[in-house]
Each structure stands twice: as structure tokens, then as C-alpha cells.
């Protein structure tokens, strides 16, 4: 019997064409995602750079004023972290805050600033994060009841929101930054 004469459309040739079409569509979707992700990450780095630049300007103006407390509101990348480092200790991102700086303030995608998405500014005076970020983790399987919440405290880290208001306090030559809640 001849399959074509019966009107069957599911031939080996048709299956191969469909398979190739599905693979091509998958490749195009993957490439589209990678392009979007590249532009999205680039936009977040620009936001982080702009936010920390504004914060640096405000801190420098604040140091020379008679004020002891002020606030700073900005629009950093949502979900990133603001963290300070002592430049004389290990742990800050490589090649950042090099020179005559005492402290380094960074905005990072990862909490420990270990990845490639970050921006930093160095300060001659001590600038510290006076805040403890409380990370809540929902437990799924453990000796605790499933669905229980465990809280981890991370001192010296602020998790940034889409709109973040920071409180800046001056004590002698020390500048303390905390999240205004």
C-alpha cells in the first residue's frame, strides 16, 4: 500500500521537518533570552552605578556640613545588596577601591559581592553599614516542621528595594549608613 494515496500526513519526512522546526524555535528563544538578559543586567549595573554615585556625592557634601544626620532616597536595582568593606582586609571585589581609601562601599547582585555584577566607590573616611539584613528562609524538609521559617542575620548588609531610603549619620569621622524603615 502507498501511504500518500491514503492521505496520511505523518511521514518520516514530515516528522523530520517538524523536529527541525522545533529545534530552531528553541534556539531562537534561547538567543532572545540571552540578549534580553544581557541588556537587563547592563541596565541594573547602570542603576547601581548611578545610585552609588549619588550616595557618594551626598556623603561627601554631608562630611563638610554641620549636619549630623540626613536621608538619601534613590532608585537602585531591586534586590541587590549594599555592603561596605574595610580595604585593608580580604573580601572586597578585586581591583575595587584601590588607592588611599579606608573603606569601600559596593552595590552587588550577590550578597557577598562574589560575582561580576557590582559597582564600588572608595572613601577616605570610615563609611560603614550600620544595619543587619534579616534573610528569611522557608524550610521544606528538616527536623523542624515543613514550612517553618529560619532567619539568618547578615550584619553590614542592606538589601535594596526598587525605591530605597537610607539614613546617614555622622559621628566624628565615622559615617554610618542604615536603611530608613
pLDDT of residue 5: 52
In a domain, 8, yes or no: no
Residue 3 has pLDDT above 60, yes or no: no
- Identify the bridge partners of residue 121 per DSSP, sorted by sequence position: 105
pTM of the model: 0.70
pLDDT of residue 166: 93
Out of 17-21, 41-45, 142-146, give the one with best mean pLDDT.
17-21
Q: How confident is the model at residue 122 (pLDDT cuts 50, 70, 90)?
A: confident
In a domain, 7, yes or no: no
Cell numbers at residue 112, please? 557577598
Total count of residues recorded for the chain: 181
Query: Mean pLDDT score of the chain, rounded to an integer?
Result: 83
Domain count, the chain: 1
Name the residue range of residue 102's domain.
32-179
In a domain, 95, yes or no: yes
In a domain, 9, yes or no: no
In a domain, 37, yes or no: yes
pLDDT of residue 134: 87
Structure confidence by residue, pLDDT tens digits, 63-95 = 888 888 989 898 998 889 999 887 777 766 777
Run of H or E including 79? none
Query: CA 128, CA 105: separation in Å to the nearest integer?
Result: 8
Q: How confident is the model at residue 40 (pLDDT cuts 50, 70, 90)?
A: low
The predicted model gives 122-140 an average pLDDT of: 85
Q: For the chain, give the percent of residues with pLDDT over 90.
A: 18
In a domain, 13, yes or no: no
162: closest CA among 78, 84, 56?
78
The predicted model gives 109-121 an average pLDDT of: 83
Residue 2 has pLDDT above 50, yes or no: no
96: closest CA among 111, 80, 77, 116?
116
In a domain, 15, yes or no: no
- Nearest-Å Rg of the Cα atoms of the chain is 26
pLDDT of residue 1: 42
Q: Which three-class secondary structure string do you get for 92-142?
A: CCCCCCCCCCCEEEEEECCCCCCCCCEEEEEECCEEEECCEEEEEEECCCC
In a domain, 2, yes or no: no
Amino acid at each position: 500500500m502507498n501511504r500518500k494515496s491514503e492521505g496520511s500526513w505523518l511521514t518520516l519526512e514530515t516528522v523530520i521537518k517538524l523536529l527541525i522546526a522545533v529545534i530552531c524555535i528553541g534556539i531562537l528563544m534561547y538567543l532572545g533570552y540571552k540578549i534580553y538578559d544581557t541588556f537587563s543586567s547592563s541596565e541594573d549595573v547602570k542603576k547601581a552605578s548611578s545610585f552609588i554615585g549619588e550616595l557618594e556625592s551626598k556623603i561627601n557634601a554631608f562630611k563638610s556640613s554641620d549636619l549630623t544626620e540626613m536621608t538619601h532616597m534613590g532608585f537602585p536595582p531591586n534586590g541587590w545588596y549594599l555592603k561596605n568593606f574595610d580595604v585593608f582586609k580580604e573580601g572586597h571585589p578585586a581591583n575595587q577601591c584601590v588607592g588611599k581609601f579606608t573603606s569601600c562601599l559596593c552595590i552587588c547582585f550577590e550578597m557577598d559581592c562574589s560575582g561580576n555584577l557590582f559597582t564600588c566607590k572608595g572613601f577616605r573616611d570610615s563609611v560603614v553599614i550600620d544595619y543587619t539584613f534579616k534573610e528569611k528562609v522557608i524550610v521544606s524538609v528538616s527536623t523542624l516542621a515543613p514550612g517553618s521559617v529560619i532567619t539568618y542575620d547578615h550584619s553590614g548588609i542592606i538589601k535594596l528595594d526598587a525605591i530605597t531610603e537610607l539614613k546617614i549619620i555622622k559621628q566624628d569621622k565615622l559615617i554610618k549608613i542604615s536603611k530608613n524603615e
